[in-house]
Structure 1
Amino acid sequence: MKVLISSPFVDREAVGEPRWCYDLFQGISAKVDTILVAQTPVNRSYRLAEAFPHSQVFEFEAWKLAFLSRRLNALVKPNYLKFYGFARDVIRHQVAPASIACGHHFGPLGMRYPTPLQGTGIPYVMGPLGGSLPFPPGFSVTGRTDPWYYRLRDFDGLRFRFDPLLRGSYQEAAYLVGVAGYVEMLLASAGMKLKRFVTHSEIVAPLQTEHVEDIVAARASRPGPVRFLVVSRLIYSKGVQFALSALAEAQHRLPDWRLDVLGDGPHRQALQEQTTRLGLDGFVRFHGHVKRSDVDAFYRDADVFLFPSVREPSGAVIFEALSWGLPIIGARYGGPANHISDAYGYRIPVDDVATFEAGLADAMIALATSPQKRQTMGRSALDAARTQHAMPAMVDFFLDLYRQISHGAGGR
């Protein structure tokens, strides 16, 4: 079985999506015959053809766009236009579509990029996809301090309805994979009819080199305050302001506690002012940007992971927390509703702000006052990280879809 992988940003030296795409392709290419169409990693000392000598690799050099800010470039991804044209040319003139059992387009996660596999005659999988998630009803967005270009996401709904390339990409896919069920609902609300829809996260839990099971076992009897942890960019949608309000509400029902907030962003000053206003300065510490090499120490020392984001398409840090055996508190909305299990976490309804904050407070009290509950959930989290959320499980998931397509289910 030969599989054509269309994945623009693949990079073993990156973090986030490009590294995930690299790892997924590496796992797939070890099991089946593969063709890769991608961008040569930018500012790296290697090429993808060298990294994958047993695969047929077509790669191109990216445009140099130094005038764009890092965040704007990450959001808009202007090099995707060059990738799309390059990939279409490769598929039309340099490979034999009849020899390919199926294609798979993955990356970027965002639901705003058409696939070059559309209209080629190659049946394909597309995804995982996520994003374009609206704020829950009842959550005001007044006072947001996000950069202006974050609002570009608000145009996604129009493209779902009127962009023929995007609509065709999704409706032609033999399988469209979403990070959670909301993806199917968003596309259906735009009038799209998908052939088959399945869910799978785009992130896997990293493997830790330390003996995490020993760390989980020791947490229940560890002296000192209960340590809550947030790892997040500090913007309105990440919801740290709701966690602070919940902690203030729960203060007199909690044992001794501390909150470490890792990350920076335009909402940081407002959050620090809120902390002071609520009288939590002695309990909450904002660490700002923390080097990747230092973040693991915070995961190791934490007892509970807080993820109060109310507009989260997926949530990569959920899987980091799982890999450290941490119980998780998050929203019953978007990606967290799909990724957090009752076995190792609490999913709080987002009916309105008051309900959400009250639910956060109750969950924090339940975990802070029960070391045994934290330990039981922590063990379940670690088990999930090592089984269903590990890379081998993801590779097997997609290989199964490829086999179904090659055997005629959704194929040509």
Structure 2
Amino acid sequence: MNPRKTARLTGAVLIAAAMAVMHSLPASAASSGGTSATDLSVLQIEAENPGLLAAMKRDLGLDATAASELMATQSAATATENSLRAALGESFGGAYFDAATRKLVVGVTDASKLATVTATGATAKIVAHSAAQLDSTVAQLNAREASAPSTVTGWYADTVTNEIVVTALPGTAEAAKAFAGYNVRVKEEAAPQMFLKGGDAYYIGGSRCSVGFTVRGGYVTAGHCETETGSAQPNNGTWAGSSFPGNDYAWVRTSGVTLEPRVGNVTVRGSSSAATGAQVCKAGSTTGYTCGTVGAKNQTVRYSQGTVTGLTATNVRCAGGDSGGGFITPAGQGQGVVSGGNTATCYFQPLGEILSRYGLSLLTG
């Protein structure tokens, strides 16, 4: 890409060629050959988000109809989780989306609150620990991070199993338990890495990263894209703020470029956080558009370059150069920007925290 030419920014990748014009459905579509409401919904999704349904079929095994229905179900589950989090207060034990039943599962520590959950149509489950208690344990481990052995790669609260999980390099479980306590579950896996390498998307010196989400005046991306490349400026703007380690976010101020409210081909509608277990997709400059499932939230990850707290795990595929790319639900709710990961996991920094930290306004369509 020639940085002297005007570039067009989507919500996740710097696109050199102009995007296809979005076509609206004809007013007569509803009566054309008796087209069903489901078929019309599928047509509208494809018209507004070209390529989304193909990515969901490839990565999630869902045909167009199933994908359309799942998008509506997950949007409702997100609203329900937010409502119950407030209604249950201290007895809220976390929530996740069950892919098998297509229902939201909500944990409660007080049996008298079960009816509050079931009244919303969600599945209620008695758990031993509240979400606040689990988050408090994560915070305590964060405070002791400097004393953790180098073989410990992170920790998080597992909403599905209602327990604390510590991640560690293969064969080092005992050292992890000695640090965190023997009442935690240890998950052995490969070390996480930062996704940053030379390439094309947006340049920082001889390296590249990916645009996350467009905001008024620019876009948000990963913080390590700034700190790990020294004083170099991105080729399409200037650093307006960044944080790494501790956090992994940044924003770039741009001028002379057209900002579009999209992540890949998906139009951004908002930034409501999806439940654990929900389907989500990512657009990055290396692996393109890939989809998967939201895993544990508020996860601490120890990269060799520094520790980051508050990340969300996914099983979405990503690789070097995808750093900063946007995660979004199929229904258009922005989730966060790629931080790093390994061959099994891709972590993202939640979008809401980035917008709040810098007082940014997300561009939506």
TM interval, shorter chain, is: under 0.3
Q: Which has the larger radius of gyration?
A: 1
The normalised TM-score by structure 2 is 0.27
Relative contact order higher in (CA < 8 Å, ≥ 6 apart): 2
The normalised TM-score by structure 1 is 0.25
